[in-house]
Amino acid sequence: MGELSQTLATINAVLWNEIWILIIAGTGVLFTIWSGFLQYRALTHGPRVIRGIYDDPDDPGAINHFQALSAALSGTVGLGNISGVALAIMLGGPGAIFWMWVVGLLGMSIKFVEVTLSMLYRNTDDPDNPHGGPMWVAGRALKKIKPELGWLGTLLAFLFSFCVMMSSGTGGNMFQAWNVADITNEYFGVTGWITGVILTLIIGVVLIGGIKRIGRVTGTLVPIMVLIYVIAGFYVLFVNIGQVPEMLKLIVVSAFTPTEATGAFVGGTVGSAFLFGMKRAIFSNEAGQGSSAIAHAAVKTDEPVREGLVGGMEPFIDTIVVCTFTALIILSTGIWNRAPDFAFETLPQPVQGEEGWQYPETVLPADEWQDQEALLMVVTAGENEETGQNVHRIGGIVSAANAGFIATWQPLVTDQRPEIVGDGFYQDYVGATLTAKAFDSVAPGLGKWLITVASWLFAISTIIAWGYYGEQGAVYMMGNKSATPYRLVYCSLTFIACLGHIKTSADLDNMTGIGLGVIIYANLPICWIFGYQAIRAYKDYIQRLRDGRMGPDHPPPSIDDLISGRDIQKQ
């Protein structure tokens, strides 16, 4: 498993770097300026669309705007909002949240382009079961514009389909399932395989019902889970209301200045805040991935831009609202930079070996431990390349030994002899568990029940949505006959992820980073090549909205006219 972790870390480092993050942000800036800040229209016109004011039951599609938004949000408002925010803070510091806000706002324009393009090129041969997404855009658009380049479009389509299948299995499925198994085991001692069986059965039953059942289930789950989470979050913030202004200031200041190491937090640079904030936000709201456009493509409408504006609301709801809630809860309670959870009976001394400085096994002072539980030690040594400071974290794993438990520590490669900070060590609260502990610090037991229930609801809805995304990728590549085999493989990954192979925050970040990285590499070129069509359609739609040319008396232009721009010429 150590070699696997190192391999995942290496791949993750190649996929994610500052240059690529800037390219994603630059794409959002481009579409924002080009459209004239469509974020405003998404937040003002989008809610009217969701309300059903413009609905027409005769339009092609399988679900309404609210169900489409719920299905898409079920893939975005999930454990990324609970676990991903915790990861961003622990690995990048409070400043990471500022960059999550930036991605949330810029992501609205990227999401609009993705959804609008998918609506322009979706397949409605069966009006009650439409298919869409970036693979359909790539596969159809180039053939229309330049038939001789149809092969390139097909290649892009197959590349995206493969990547969405891979991303659905890792970040959309295993990341969610592992978090549920981890927190359920942490609080209730339920073995991972039991959680895996229950999750797998639920996911399988819903996926078999197709997009209509997915729309019904997520349309019920998403509002309930967000409402529960927000109400409990308001309680925690009310208790710590005096800390909130200071935490907001800390978020902004830490985005532009290094954050010193304190307690369990080992410090962060501006670069680490930027990198982890951007990455976690992109993972959370899916801007740039093109995945949620697959769900939106099933909506019942003949106005592509209308659903594009609904899709543009997702990053705002996901990142600006829900993620900020989680961040303020974690920061205001101090769980992120807490003092050591346990004290060493005798301070251990490291020995330098072939693999680096190695601390001896530690006999744990009590018997209330679980086999394979993750621990954390904070030390000072040589420079930490990730933070630019001299503070490091050393992971440990609990093992049963004779009548008690021992902790085995990972080696640390550094040019200076490490010294333990303080006189103790920590439980390594990974992802959702850290957020749960923040709730528990205000009201003991609140995190245990709230985050466990929320994690189950969030994970189920997200795994369902991503199962549909991956299935559509498989169907595009191999036809409808591939749907059932794909579901079997997908559900088996849910079970496997619950068996405890992931141990640390870094492993969790690597798994989601790889799945996220490959799908964005496949999707963004599609947005760059065809994005002008979405912006042109947007400007036409807004002009017709301003002129009052909306509704039954003013039928929309044909899709072909929108794509070619002939609708503007006819005015």
What confidence score (pLDDT) does residue 503 get? Answer: 59
Distance of CA 14 to the CA centre of its chain: 19
**What's the burial of 449, exposed, middle or buried (CB within 10 Å: 0-12/13-18/19+)?**
middle
Helix axes 505-547, 134-145, angle to 10 degrees: 50
For residues 395 and 356, is the Cβ–Cβ distance under 8 A?
no
What confidence score (pLDDT) does residue 569 get? Answer: 47
Q: Using CA atoms, how far apart are residues 421 and 293, in angstroms rounded to an integer?
A: 48
Which domains, and CATH codes, for the chain? 16-337+436-563 (1.20.1740.10), 342-422 (no CATH)
pTM of the model: 0.80
What confidence score (pLDDT) does residue 232 get? Answer: 86
For residues 364 and 406, is the Cβ–Cβ distance under 8 A?
yes
CA dihedral 281, 539, 132, 102 (to 10 degrees): 0
pLDDT in tens, the chain (571 residues): 456 667 767 777 777 667 777 888 899 999 999 999 999 999 999 988 888 777 777 787 787 888 788 777 776 776 667 777 888 888 888 999 999 999 899 999 999 999 999 999 998 887 777 889 999 998 898 888 888 888 888 988 998 898 888 888 887 888 788 888 888 887 888 988 999 999 999 998 888 877 677 777 777 777 777 788 888 888 889 998 988 899 999 999 999 998 888 888 888 888 888 888 887 787 677 778 888 898 888 888 888 999 999 999 989 988 888 888 889 999 999 998 899 999 998 899 999 988 899 999 998 877 778 888 889 999 999 988 877 789 999 999 999 887 789 999 999 999 899 999 988 999 888 777 788 888 888 888 888 888 788 888 888 888 888 898 899 999 999 988 898 999 999 999 999 888 876 655 566 667 667 766 777 888 888 899 999 999 999 999 999 888 887 765 566 667 676 555 554 444 4
Place of tokens 């693999």: 355
Q: Using CA atoms, how far apart are residues 72 and 214, in angstroms rounded to an integer?
A: 10
What confidence score (pLDDT) does residue 86 get? Answer: 84
Triad 64, 67, 73: Cα angle to 5°: 140
For residues 365 and 416, is the Cβ–Cβ distance under 8 A?
no
What confidence score (pLDDT) does residue 406 get? Answer: 92
